[in-house]
Chain A
């Protein structure tokens, strides 16, 4: 159905895919080529692999399962502060690891809120360190992301369908069965895959909350190979293993994905009918309240901890903030200019090939940041000064890392726009940039805004490859935050963490809001 004239030439899409491949796999190849001799995996590496898989499956499964009631509640309820809540949902995901971990521990740690309350009741403190701690932290990071991804799915069901359902006297169960379940069937595997891939590259979170070397992940094994043994072959092999896990997961997830089968709508704002019973209201309220408490409390501790020193942050922090904002904006622009042609390519290719492209784009999440950074360094060092390119390279890598989320949001909406209005556009001979401007972009405002916001915010908070390249004059805000901590300045670091959170959220809000303006009209 989609093999017709596309607004963006396929060549652009193929070029974008090539760039993504270069960053994700070319860097791995560069590291492997620099290696001397063949590497072998030992028992400790297999143990790391087992732990990585297990915690990632558990984390992703729980995140997606819990996101279903939350996304549904948010989709069918209107309440004051809903928009703010949806924006705040983006926050945990974009926080630098260390800030988020300290926030989580301020709530669930030995000296945290929960333990303090338990202490009043004469109970021992909670012991957060262990597999349950790892999963809890991954839930904190990824439940909001899963919710956002599923919420996109809900909002993509045309309002007419709900109205038709209501006029046919659908019960909540009928709505779930006939409208929501097909959408979830289409959206859940992708959301699961994305979160599974994120969790496979987890390292600092898994280690800190895992409570010891039993919580060794593949990424930590890569660290060990690189800095402990300087065994580049092994680092590359482990990174390949990480891709293999991701590849299998992607193949499975995309196999289970069926395209959404809902027909065309007029793009009216949504109102879900037939969900008005008291029990359902109470259920939704409880779900939203619990999730909000779980997600907002650690953020509130970040706010309280950072606020006292926020206004007295030293000048280098402010300069780094401007630098980070610039990188974030470039990264967002790059993400969109990669995601649009890729999404066009995915929609234009026959299904089998399009899935391959999609899977490859997803796999960039499974790329080891250390291997990507090292590979880029190996590639750039002979030709130029990698330090001088630290910021552009960081923006590029961040853009590629954000691409899967962007595609997740853009590609389905893109396909729908083509499916719903493509024939009309064809009959009007609407091609090239006119088609992009008049048909695609207006239909994609919401996912484009979301993707740009997410990319900018992710880039803002990501330490990324800049840590491998940067010198004094290229430090970004996350790097400065770590430097404050390394210099014992934990209070200022907390304030820098808060500043980072504010900037990330503001970026996300501005773009996401921009994308949703039409929906509120």
Chain B
């Protein structure tokens, strides 16, 4: 007389078993990637359509917080793939010994630099730039020196708590080397304030507090494409612009190495790359077949791309932070 219950129980068990049979891939990434307004949901759907697997994102702050989280978790991490580090972090990330080599040769990236890292593969990139409103500032400064000489107010992010903030420090350091301290001394009176993160700074700029904000050359594309507002632009600087290249790597101890590898293939595929421009508002690492979305052609394209190689980035970072603190704490 218990048959129906047993049958129900068996069905339940088999149901569970089927769910468990579908392999699970865990991708650890930064918070704005998994957000409902980021690329995460679309990417999850596109990958799950073909992988016969269950893709789960776990999120941690931004790139630097992501690396810290991974270091806390160590070899016991549940992550199979870590997505969202940048070239300032890859040296420290590879030192953790947690990552495997990706084993790929030239993938034909559309990057301003040559990519030959054996451990990490790029999925998108962008240039740091100062964004302004063309209606209130029709002729923006064209270099750090011009910006310093102007009476424009800028808002930047603190390099100790923000990725773009650190990018600016490396930008000035890479462009001016020993002259970086002088540039910062000149910028001191232009600096309206320093914020904890990108959102605060960009919010202040949009509320009209500052004339320019440190962001990306691709930021105006958001306003143009999503809001139909062409008033925002990035100022092209003569010394060139610092690059941010965002990368992903496979965790060596992953129990789903094949699936993780398939995810990297997917990451470089058209499906993934086409989601990036209008969801992460960065340039895709490989231009998708249909090209970039309409509107991206209006963005400035710097002639000089600045970037410290991963192994130099840490030393440059510490030097640049000292210079910055020294120049602005006086």
Contact = CB atoms under 8 A, between A and B. Distances in A.
Interface of A: 34, 44, 47, 98, 101-102, 105-106, 109-111, 129, 203-204, 207-214, 220, 223-224, 226-228, 230, 314, 316, 374, 377-378, 381-382, 385, 387, 467-468, 470-472, 475, 479-480, 482-490, 493
Given A211-B192, A382-B76, A472-B40, A228 B199 contact: no
B38 interface: yes
B76 A208 contact: no
Nearest to B28: A471
Contacts of A213: 158, 194, 324-325, 328-329
Interface string B65-81: 10111011100101000
A111 B72 contact: no
B209 interface: yes
Contacts of B68: 226-227, 230
B193 A490 contact: no
B204 A105 contact: yes
Given A208-B200, A227-B161, A381 B72 contact: yes
Nearest to A111: B208
Interface in B188-222: 188, 191-196, 198-200, 202-204, 206-210, 219, 222
A209 B158 contact: no
Contacts of B160: 220, 223-224, 227-228
B64 interface: yes
A230 B71 CA distance: 8
Given A208-B193, A470-B59, A220 B161 contact: yes
Nearest to B65: A227
B124 to A, nearest CB: 15
A109 B207 contact: yes
Contacts of B222: 488
Given A98-B203, A489-B37, 12 more contacts: A110-B209, A204-B200, A213-B325, A227-B64, A387-B58, A468-B61, A468-B69, A472-B34, A482-B31, A486-B32, A486-B198, A487-B38
A482 B31 CA distance: 10
Contacts of B153: 110
A381 B73 contact: yes
A212 B204 CA distance: 15
A468 B210 CA distance: 30
B181 interface: no
12 contacts: A102-B203, A109-B207, A110-B153, A110-B209, A129-B193, A220-B160, A223-B161, A227-B160, A228-B160, A468-B60, A486-B32, A490-B203
B203 A381 contact: no
A490 B57 contact: no
A204 B199 CA distance: 12
A381 B76 contact: yes
Nearest to B33: A486
Contacts of B193: 129, 207-212
Q: List 5 tightest A-B contacts by C-beta distance, closest first.
A: A487-B37, A485-B199, A111-B208, A483-B35, A486-B32
Nearest to B34: A472
Nearest to B96: A230
Interface string B121-164: 00000000000000000000000000000000100001011000
B329 A214 contact: yes
A68 to B, nearest CB: 32
B34 A471 contact: yes
Contacts, number: 153
Contacts of B78: 385
A204 B196 contact: yes
B79 to A, nearest CB: 11
A385 B24 CA distance: 15
B191 A212 contact: yes
A488 to B, nearest CB: 5
Contacts of B195: 204, 207-208
A378 B158 contact: no
B278 to A, nearest CB: 11
B201 to A, nearest CB: 9
B105 interface: no
Contacts of A230: 67-68, 71, 92
B184 to A, nearest CB: 10
Nearest to A105: B209
A374 B72 contact: yes
A208 B38 contact: no
Contacts of B161: 220, 223-224, 227
A194 to B, nearest CB: 24
Interface in B271-325: 281, 321, 324-325
Contacts of B324: 213
B328 A214 contact: yes
A207 B328 contact: no
B106 interface: no
Contact of B36 (A207, A316, A382, A482): A316
A18 B3 CA distance: 51
Nearest to A209: B193
Contacts of A470: 59
Nearest to A315: B36
Contacts of B65: 227, 468
A200 B175 CA distance: 37
A44 to B, nearest CB: 7
B226 interface: yes
B328 A486 contact: no
A156 B172 CA distance: 60
A425 to B, nearest CB: 51
A445 to B, nearest CB: 40
Contact of A467 (B31, B34, B58, B223): B31
A488 B226 contact: yes
Contacts of A467: 31, 61
A352 to B, nearest CB: 39
Most-contacted residue by chain B among A34, A471, A493 (CB, 10 A): A471
Nearest to A482: B199
Nearest to A472: B34
Nearest to B159: A228
Given A204-B196, A488-B281, A378 B31 contact: no
Contacts of A377: 69, 72
A226 B191 CA distance: 26
B42 to A, nearest CB: 13
Interface in B36-51: 36-38, 40-41
Contact of A98 (B69, B92, B199): B199
A207 B32 contact: no
Nearest to B194: A212
